[in-house]
């Protein structure tokens, strides 16, 4: 089975401030590069990065990585537009997509590989969702057969609502909280800098 990774890096990140949050640095490395490096080091067969706001700067931040880019001209309309753009750019042979948020700097290849392995064990699942202490996190591996439902999304929402209504979603437990940690504010980034010390 072939799985692609989609890195969502097009959004406004309005709670973070003027500068695009995916370009903020943790330990000297842009958040989006940390995510893309994890995806490239995983078992994912390809990595697609969705860009919009500050697209040129995101491309520069990912220089040298084996990723492809897709432009989301409608990024200001919310998360759904980036998810749709990423799904539309999947390779034809991809059976599923690892949907990675560009602001999750603790993402590592082992998380992605565990989701891929679960997808291989349960190929009929609509999605594989990571869970820590009862809370669903990210990234989520979404089967390609949900493409019509993804295409119907609108506004600033992802696939969570689609997945909640299904009984063919597999929850994959994780012992640590990396799947829950993202960066929405400068304060959250500062807290991660402290945690990393």
DSSP state for residue 144 in the 8-state scheme: G
CA distances from residue 15 to 21, 31, 68, 112, 114 in whole angstroms, order as listed: 9, 16, 27, 27, 31
Model confidence at 17, pLDDT cuts 50, 70, 90, reads low
Percent of the chain with pLDDT over 90: 82
Supply the pLDDT for residue 13.
64
Q: What is the mean pLDDT of the segment spanning 46-57?
A: 94
- Which of 61, 18, 15 minimizes the C-alpha distance to 7? 61
What phi, psi does 156 have (nearest 5°)? -95, 65
Kindly list the structural domains of the chain, giving each domain's residue range(s) and its CATH number in brackets, ordered by start: 2-196 (3.90.550.10)
Supply the pLDDT for residue 105.
93
Contact 49, 9 (CB under 8 A): yes
In the predicted structure, residue 181 carries a pLDDT above the cut 70? yes
CA distances from residue 28 to 31, 109, 141, 157, 189 in whole angstroms, order as listed: 9, 20, 29, 30, 12
Supply the pLDDT for residue 10.
93
Q: What is the mean pLDDT of the segment spanning 145-168?
A: 92
**Tokens representing residue 146 in the block:** 């949900």
- Which of 165, 162, 169 minimizes the C-alpha distance to 115? 169
In the predicted structure, residue 177 carries a pLDDT above the cut 90? yes
Q: CB atoms < 10 A from the CB of 45, how many?
A: 15
Rounded Cα distance between 163 and 16, Å, is 28
CA distances from residue 63 to 30, 42, 58, 68, 142 in whole angstroms, order as listed: 12, 18, 9, 11, 27
In the predicted structure, residue 195 carries a pLDDT above the cut 80? no
- Which of 10, 80, 67 minimizes the C-alpha distance to 36? 67
Supply the pLDDT for residue 14.
62
What phi, psi does 75 have (nearest 5°)? -55, -30
Supply the pLDDT for residue 184.
87
| Tens-place pLDDT, residues 67-113 | 999 999 999 998 999 999 999 999 999 999 999 999 999 999 999 99
In the predicted structure, residue 12 carries a pLDDT above the cut 80? no
In the predicted structure, residue 54 carries a pLDDT above the cut 80? yes
Model confidence at 165, pLDDT cuts 50, 70, 90, reads confident
In the predicted structure, residue 19 carries a pLDDT above the cut 90? no
């Amino acid at each position: 089975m072939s799985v692609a990774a989609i890195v969502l890096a097009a959004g406004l990140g309005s709670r973070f401030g003027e500068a695009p949050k995916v370009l903020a640095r943790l330990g000297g490395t842009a958040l989006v590069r940390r995510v893309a490096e994890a995806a490239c080091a995983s078992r994912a067969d390809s990595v697609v990065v969705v860009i919009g706001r500050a697209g040129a700067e995101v491309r520069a931040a990912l220089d040298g990585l084996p990723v492809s880019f897709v432009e989301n001209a409608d990024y200001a309309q919310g998360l759904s537009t980036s998810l749709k753009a990423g799904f539309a750019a999947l390779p034809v042979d991809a059976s599923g997509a690892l949907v990675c948020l560009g602001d999750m700097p603790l993402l590592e290849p082992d998380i992605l590989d565990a989701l891929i392995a679960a997808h291989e064990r349960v190929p009929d699942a609509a999605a594989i969702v990571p869970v820590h202490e009862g809370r669903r996190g990210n990234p989520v591996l979404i089967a390609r057969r949900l493409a019509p439902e993804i295409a119907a999304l609108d506004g600033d929402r992802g696939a969570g609502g689609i997945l909640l209504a299904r009984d063919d979603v597999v929850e994959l437990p994780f012992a640590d909280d990396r799947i829950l940690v993202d960066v929405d504010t400068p304060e959250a980034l500062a807290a991660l800098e402290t945690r990393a010390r």
